[in-house]
């Protein structure tokens, strides 16, 4: 076999190869276990000593050239085939990925609310769901046997004296103010309970976010400004807001906060009862009696507090019309968020 | 409460339309929930907050209107009733003056009871009150107008000579005007004559002394009862009335006198007759109260300067007396109808209300910077994101549930019971998240979902001795099979225990937790999870009994519940870099056939020990099935990774170790190497 002849022919030969099968045949012909290169190598020891080195070099050169050619041809064919595949690929075929699960809409809204206040400098604090009557009522200036308790019907625990399921997140105010000294800027998400029969707008278990701030020189105007920022962050910058006087035992002055109806933009529709306004939270300046209960001097410190229902905000935000959907855990519902 | 526009005009000149009035009232804290034109008048329905009993009257709202619109209230100051201690023909006995601070009686003789005149009927109907007869209607008219509930008795049906305000006696009975017989107790305050109880004080009158068309002589009661007693009485009897609603919130002592007088005048005008006696007993006079208010406090609380003149005008329109103390401070006299005002802050709210919350500017508070540390809550939030990344959906289930359902999962002897549940189905606090989650699975299977994967992170509640514990748990439930369309074909992955093992291992990895173990219980399909040798929960398959209870048919449901409290406290979030291997590794695969009873866990542990120190990783990389594998056996591929930190291994070093691995497989586990 004349190595020079082989070297001269292989270029043309590989050019004629046009399938991956053909290429493999070509490889086996030359580089296979019983291929030409192997045969040539095996022939080396049969040559006279003086020719062996030169012949060996030629065989090596052939081997290198073949490897190079094969590599190039292979590269070309991969590129060709992948080009071909993407050209024939139908983008109507579904993509392949792990399907993600979904966070509950109440979690998402809670996180959004807490996130807004976090960025304003508030810290998140949580409290227990089983509370003392003192923290839930007395410490918040809601006296026993007072009509103001009417709004706070509460589940009490059997076998425990004066323990209950908190009917709002406000007891965490009492806890936090006892635990740490002002300045305080705290946001409290959590589950709360009230003995309301379940229907489209009532649930015996729901979620609230409470916020409060205590420092020297906190004013009602700060409450207004803070909540206005919040409303814009969560409902969009065009939202209008109004503060109406109201009564809460633990704040004085107290205010209910309405936003312009996000459904009808304030023109009046069935969601807002044709009023153009939607009530979204209760708020006010922390009552001096609450401060006295936790040992903060109301002459030195002032503060504001506010609380809102997470279900209410979520229902408005997403257009959900039945509170029971939140607790049914229907995947067709959960996967929408 | 309902009021009418024209009725208000009896007390204050209104120059704005009913619509404008409604808006202004709403913005002053008297939320008008409806406005309706009716019978030539306008009816406004207002939600009255529980702190303002004085607003439960036309007069009280007229006073607001005067302040809001800067008009004059058309009514002279009230004078307290003169007390004359019952030495006349009628004796009034109040057993405890703390329970009835005033009891007054007027006797009017020769009245003619009949239908009410049109104007009276009309107004009562507009505010939603049923008309009865002229006499009763007048007492109701005064209740709505002035906020003092009055009561009229048929004098001739009272045992003569005595009115007693006392507690009920056990077993004593009274039939109220609604025709129901009610049993009294010592908790209930009553009005009695010398023989029998005739009224449940402040709540409802008795049928036996009711005014009828035959009545000619009456006794007109105007009284003030203790709010707590009235509240307890009506709660015990399950009764509520316009009268009790007002007494519970507090009726003004001064307005009572005025109401009695005004009612007597109206009775004489409408029903005729003449007053023959007036008798009153009780406390002489409400205490005069004063609060010091400084302008700087107004600004300190509200964040706006309000002028002294404005402050004075607002407060006096609302019925407060204002005297200058210094240039910057006032002595504010609190009228008796404002028992809710006790502090300067209460006055500041009054100023802000009338000044208008909308006129108070907005500012942003200076928040002292505090670096908040990522805490437990942030970790929980990370875990939730990981779980959704694994394809699980977050559920929120009720914390209140049925004790029976809890018991089905595990004996719930430590469950906490509610004293006043809405129903038996919500009588207990949950001791497991699984009852709610499995209910979620059942619901979704009913909706024909092929694949249900839910998790919840929430508290369970346990009774521990005399105390209670809230334990944060993670629950996961899986059912069905997950279908995925890959490049060549669709694969269906039947969910099971390994999906739960994988999920929890992913969380452990995120939290840097290594020292955990899964141990199969001797019986059943339950697997216990241990963390640092402490049991933290388990994985299991619902048994057929539970499936049946939740009406789940032809499906398996896999559950996991662990204490997140324990997991989070074991978290080790510190990280340390290990140098990358300097020398290449050698990988050898072994394909083998094993008896199914052989525990892979034991096998892997032993091989790892035998392969030390060169065996660096040992992994199961494939399972195979097929004709070659006899039943009762399984085929799998083990991938062994050998390496050293000191040098590149050569074949001669690896071979003996790998041979040892293979012979161990054969000798200790009866494996057949393919």
Average pLDDT in the B196-208 region? 93
What confidence score (pLDDT) does residue A51 get? 83
What is chain A's length? 337
* Max Cα–Cα distance, chain A, nearest Å: 120
Do A317 and A178 have their domain in common? yes
A336 neighbourhood in chain B, CB within 8 Å: none
Q: How many domains does chain A have?
A: 2
Would A94 be classed as within a structural domain? no
Predicted local confidence at residue B37, as pLDDT: 96
Cα atoms in the Cβ-side hemisphere of radius 13 Å centred on A259: 26
pLDDT tens per residue, range B304-352: 999 999 999 999 999 999 999 998 999 999 999 999 999 999 999 999 9
pLDDT reported for residue B167: 95
Report the distance separating Cα B601 and Cα B620, nearest Å.
11
pLDDT at B5 over 60: yes
Picking from B526, B52, B530, the residue whose alpha carbon sits closest to that of residue B252 is B52
Nearest to A148 among B51, B357, B397 (CB): B51
Instruction: Tell me, yes or no, whether A253 and A191 share the same domain.
Output: yes
How far apart CA B404 and CA B478 sit, in angstroms, is: 23
CATH number at residue A303: 3.30.930.10
Q: How many interchain CB pairs under 8 A, A with B?
A: 238
Of A83, A115, A132, which residue constitutes the final position of a domain?
A: A83
Does A320 reach chain B within 8 Å, measured CB to CB? no
CB contact under 8 A, A104 and B396: yes
For residues A75 and A203, membership in a common domain is answered with no
Query: For B343-364, b where at least 16 C-beta lie within 10 A, e where not — what string?
Result: ebbbbbbbbbbbbebeebebbe
The radius of gyration of chain B's CA atoms, rounded to the nearest angstrom, is 40
Q: Kindly state whether residue A169 falls inside one of the protein's structural domains.
A: yes
Q: Collect all residues with Cβ–Cβ distance below 8 Å to A295 and sequence separation of at least 6.
A: A178
Residues of chain B in contact with residue A120, where contact means CB-CB under 8 angstroms, are 367
Rounded to whole angstroms, the Cα distance separating B35 from A31 reads 98
Q: Are residues A277 and A137 in the same domain?
A: yes
Q: Strand B393-394 and strand B451-464: pairing? A: parallel
User: How many residues are there in chain B?
Assistant: 674
Is A305 exposed, middle or buried (CB count within 10 Å of its CB: 0-12, 13-18, 19+)?
A: buried
Interface contact B29-A204, CB threshold 8 A:
no
- Together in a domain, A109 and A191: yes
Of residues B544 and B371, more confidence is placed in B544
Q: CB–CB of A100 and B388 under 8 A?
A: yes
Query: Is there a contact between B396 and A96 if contact means CB atoms under 8 Å apart?
Result: no
- Rounded to the nearest 10 degrees, how much is the dihedral formed by the CA atoms of A153, A158, A161, A162? -10
> Is residue A244 a part of any domain in this protein?
yes
Assess if residue A93 is contained within a domain.
Answer: no
Q: What is the pLDDT of residue B259?
A: 93
User: Contact A330/B459, CB-based, under 8 Å?
Assistant: no
Q: Could you tell me which chain B residue has the CA closest to the CA of A230?
A: B364
Give the mean pLDDT of B522-541.
Answer: 92
* A121–chain B nearest CA distance, Å: 7
ω into B553 cis (within 30 of 0): no
Is residue B29 within 8 A of residue B50, CB to CB? The reply is no
Which tokens sit at A16?
């004629």
Q: Is residue A286 part of a domain?
A: yes
Q: What is the pLDDT of residue B79?
A: 57
Asked whether residue A99 is assigned to any structural domain, the reply reads no
> What residue of B is the nearest CA neighbor of A160?
B466
Q: Looking at the structure, do residues A48 and A168 belong to the same domain, yes or no?
A: no
Q: Looking at chain B, which residue has its C-alpha nearest residue A183? A: B368
**A187 and A317, same domain (yes or no):** yes
Decide if B174 contacts B197 (C-beta within 8 A).
yes
- The yes-or-no verdict on residue B77 having pLDDT over 60 is no
Q: Are B46 and B54 in contact (CB under 8 A)?
A: no
What three-state secondary structure class fits B563? strand
**B67 vs A255, B64, B361, CA distance in Å?**
19, 5, 22
Mean pLDDT of B455-479: 95
In B160-178, which positions are buried (b, 16+ CB within 10 angstroms) versus exposed (e)? Answer: eeebbbbbbeeebebebbe
Assign B202 to helix, strand or coil: coil
- The CA distance from B438 to the nearest CA of chain A, in Å, is 11
Range of the domain at A51: 3-83
Q: Which of A83, A113, A147 is the endpoint of a domain?
A: A83
- Given CB atoms, is A99 within the 8 Å cutoff of chain B? yes
Distance CA A254, CA A247 (A): 6
pLDDT at A80: 56
What is the tens place of the pLDDT at every residue in B166-195? 999 998 999 999 999 999 999 999 999 989
337 residues of chain A, pLDDT tens digit each: 678 788 888 888 888 887 777 888 888 888 887 888 888 888 887 888 888 888 888 888 888 888 888 888 877 765 555 555 555 677 888 888 888 999 999 999 999 999 999 999 999 999 999 999 999 999 999 988 777 676 678 999 998 989 999 999 999 999 999 999 999 999 999 999 999 999 999 999 999 999 999 999 999 999 999 999 999 999 999 999 999 999 999 999 999 999 998 888 878 888 887 888 999 999 999 999 999 999 999 999 999 999 999 999 999 999 999 999 999 999 999 999 9
Q: Is residue A72 part of a domain?
A: yes
Instruction: Give the E-state strand segments of B196-273 in sequence order.
Output: 197-200, 204-205, 217-225
Alpha-carbon span A139 to A295, nearest angstrom:
11
d(CA B384, CA B389): 9
Domains of chain B: 2-69 (3.30.56.10), 91-282 (3.50.40.10), 289-357 (3.30.56.10), 376-569 (3.30.930.10), 586-673 (3.30.70.380)
* C-alpha pair distances (Å), A73 with each of A19, A112, A292, B536: 10, 57, 87, 60
CB A209 within 8 A of CB A310: yes
**Mind listing the pLDDT tens digit for each residue in B269-306?**
999 999 888 888 887 677 789 999 999 999 999 999 99
- Assigned domain for A304 exists: yes
Q: What angle do CA B553, B557, B560 make, to 5 degrees?
A: 160
> Is the bond leading into B483 cis (omega within 30 degrees of zero)?
no
Which residues in chain A touch residue B46, judged by CB atoms under 8 angstroms apart?
none
Q: Are residues A60 and A149 in the same domain?
A: no
- pLDDT of B397 higher than 60: yes
What is d(CA B383, CA B474) in angstroms, rounded to the nearest whole number?
10
- How many other CB atoms are there within 10 angstroms of residue A258's CB atom? 21
| A155/A63 same-domain check | no
A92 interface with B at CB cutoff 8 Å: no
Out of A83, A116, A138, a domain closes at A83
Nearest to B403 by CA among B385, B423, B430: B430
Do A120 and A78 fall within a single domain?
Answer: no
- Bridge partners (DSSP) of residue B219 are B107, B153
Question: Using a CB-CB distance cutoff of 8 angstroms, which residues of chain A are in contact with residue B34?
Answer: none
| Cα of B246 vs its chain's centroid, Å | 25
Whether residue A305 sits in one domain with residue A190: yes
Closest residue of A to B387, CA-based?
A: A101
Nearest residue, CB atoms, A242 vs list B249, B358, B368? B358
Q: Are residues A49 and A175 in the same domain?
A: no
d(CA A6, CA A15): 14
Chain A hits for B363, CB-CB cut-off 8 Å, are 219, 221-222, 224-225
* Residues 6+ away with beta carbon under 8 Å from B307: none
- Is A111 an interface residue toward B (CB < 8 Å)? yes
């Amino acid at each position: 076999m004349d190595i020079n002849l082989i070297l001269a022919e292989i270029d043309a030969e590989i050019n004629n190869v046009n399938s991956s099968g053909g290429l493999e045949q070509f490889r086996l012909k030359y580089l296979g276990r019983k291929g030409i290169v192997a045969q040539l190598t095996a022939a080396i020891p049969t040559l006279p000593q003086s020719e062996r080195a030169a012949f060996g070099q030629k065989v090596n050169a052939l081997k290198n050239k073949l490897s190079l050619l094969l590599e190039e041809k292979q590269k070309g064919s991969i590129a060709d085939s992948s080009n071909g595949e993407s050209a024939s690929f139908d983008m109507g075929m579904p993509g392949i990925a792990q399907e993600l699960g979904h966070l509950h809409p109440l979690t998402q809204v809670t996180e959004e609310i807490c996130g807004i206040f976090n960025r304003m400098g508030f810290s998140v604090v949580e409290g227990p769901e089983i509370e003392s009557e003192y923290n839930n009522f007395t410490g918040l200036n809601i006296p026993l046997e007072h009509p103001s308790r009417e709004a706070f019907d509460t589940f009490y625990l059997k076998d425990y004296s004066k323990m209950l399921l908190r009917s709002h997140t406000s007891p965490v105010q009492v806890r936090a103010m006892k635990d740490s000294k002002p300045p305080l800027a705290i946001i409290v998400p959590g589950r709360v309970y009230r003995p309301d029969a379940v229907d489209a707008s009532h649930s015996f278990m729901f979620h609230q976010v409470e916020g409060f701030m205590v420092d020297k020189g906190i004013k009602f105007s700060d409450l207004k400004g803070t909540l206005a920022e919040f409303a814009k962050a969560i409902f969009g910058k065009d939202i209008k807001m109004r503060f109406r006087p109201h009564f809460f035992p633990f704040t004085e002055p107290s205010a209910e906060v309405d936003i312009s109806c996000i459904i009808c933009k304030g023109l009046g529709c069935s969601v807002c009862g044709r009023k153009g306004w939607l009530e979204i939270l209760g708020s006010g300046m922390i009552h001096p009696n609450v401060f006295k209960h936790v040992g903060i001097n109301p002459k030195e410190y002032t503060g504001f507090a506010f609380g809102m229902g997470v279900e209410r905000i979520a229902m408005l935000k997403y257009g959900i019309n039945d509170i029971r959907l939140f607790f049914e855990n229907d995947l067709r519902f959960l996967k929408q968020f | 409460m309902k009021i009418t526009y024209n009725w208000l005009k009896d007390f204050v000149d209104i120059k704005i339309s009913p619509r404008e009035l409604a808006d202004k009232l709403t913005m002053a804290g008297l939320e008008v929930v409806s406005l309706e034109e009716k019978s030539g008048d306008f009816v406004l329905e207002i939600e009255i907050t529980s702190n303002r009993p004085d607003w439960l009257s036309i007069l009280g709202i007229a006073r607001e209107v005067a302040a809001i619109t800067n008009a004059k209230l058309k009514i002279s100051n009230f004078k307290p009733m003169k007390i004359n201690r019952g030495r006349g023909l009628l004796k009034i006995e109040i057993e405890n003056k703390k329970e009835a601070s005033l009891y007054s009686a007027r006797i009017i003789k020769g009245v003619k009871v009949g239908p009410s005149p049109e104007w009276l009927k009309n107004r009562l109907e507009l505010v939603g009150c049923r008309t009865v007869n002229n006499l009763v209607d007048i007492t109701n008219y005064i209740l709505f107008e002035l906020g003092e509930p009055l009561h009229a008795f048929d004098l001739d049906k009272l045992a003569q000579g005595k009115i007693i305000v006392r507690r009920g006696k056990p077993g004593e009975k009274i039939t109220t005007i609604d025709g129901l017989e009610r049993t009294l107790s010592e908790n209930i305050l009553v009005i009695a004559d010398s023989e029998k109880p005739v009224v449940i004080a402040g709540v409802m009158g008795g049928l036996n002394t009711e005014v009828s068309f035959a009545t000619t002589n009456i006794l007109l009661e105007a009284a003030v009862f203790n709010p707590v007693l009235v509240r307890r009485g009506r709660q015990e009897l399950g009764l509520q009335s316009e009268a009790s609603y007002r007494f519970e919130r507090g009726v003004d002592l001064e307005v009572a006198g005025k109401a009695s007088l005004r009612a007597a005048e109206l009775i004489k005008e409408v029903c005729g007759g003449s007053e023959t006696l007036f008798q009153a007993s009780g406390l002489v006079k409400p205490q005069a109260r004063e609060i010091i208010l400084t302008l700087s406090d107004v600004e300190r609380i509200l964040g706006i300067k309000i002028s002294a003149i404005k402050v004075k005008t607002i407060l006096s329109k609302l019925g407060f007396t204002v005297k200058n103390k210094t240039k910057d401070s006032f002595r504010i006299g609190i009228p008796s109808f404002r028992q809710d005002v006790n502090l300067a802050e209460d006055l500041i709210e009054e100023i802000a209300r009338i000044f208008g919350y909308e006129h108070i500017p907005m500012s942003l508070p200076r928040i002292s910077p505090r670096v908040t540390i990522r805490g437990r809550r942030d970790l929980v939030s990370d875990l939730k994101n990981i779980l959704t990344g694994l394809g699980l959906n977050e559920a929120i289930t009720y914390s209140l549930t049925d004790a029976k359902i809890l018991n089905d999962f595990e004996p719930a002897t430590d469950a906490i019971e509610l004293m006043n549940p809405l129903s038996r189905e919500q009588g207990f606090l949950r001791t497991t998240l699984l009852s709610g989650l499995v209910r979620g699975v059942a619901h979704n299977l009913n909706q024909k979902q092929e694949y249900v994967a839910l998790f919840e992170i929430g508290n369970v509640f346990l009774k521990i001795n005399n105390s209670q514990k809230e334990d944060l748990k993670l629950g996961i439930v899986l059912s069905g099979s997950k279908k995925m369309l890959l490049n060549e074909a669709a694969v269906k992955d039947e969910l099971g225990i390994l999906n739960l093992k994988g999920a929890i291992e992913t969380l452990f990895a995120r939290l840097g937790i290594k020292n955990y173990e899964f141990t199969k219980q001797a019986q059943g399909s339950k697997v216990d999870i241990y963390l640092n040798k402490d049991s933290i929960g388990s994985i299991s398959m619902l048994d057929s009994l539970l499936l049946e209870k939740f009406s789940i048919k032809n499906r398996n449901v896999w559950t996991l519940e662990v204490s997140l409290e324990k997991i989070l406290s074991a978290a080790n979030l510190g990280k340390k870099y290990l140098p990358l291997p300097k020398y290449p590794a050698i990988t050898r695969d072994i394909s083998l056939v094993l008896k199914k009873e052989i525990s892979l866990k034991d096998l892997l542990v032993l091989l790892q020990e035998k392969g030390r120190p060169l065996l660096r990783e040992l992994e199961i990389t494939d399972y195979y099935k097929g004709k070659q594998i006899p039943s009762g056996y399984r085929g799998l591929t083990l991938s062994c990774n050998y390496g050293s930190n000191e040098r590149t291994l050569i074949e001669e070093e690896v071979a003996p170790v790998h041979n040892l691995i293979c012979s161990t497989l054969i000798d200790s586990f009866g494996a057949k190497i393919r």
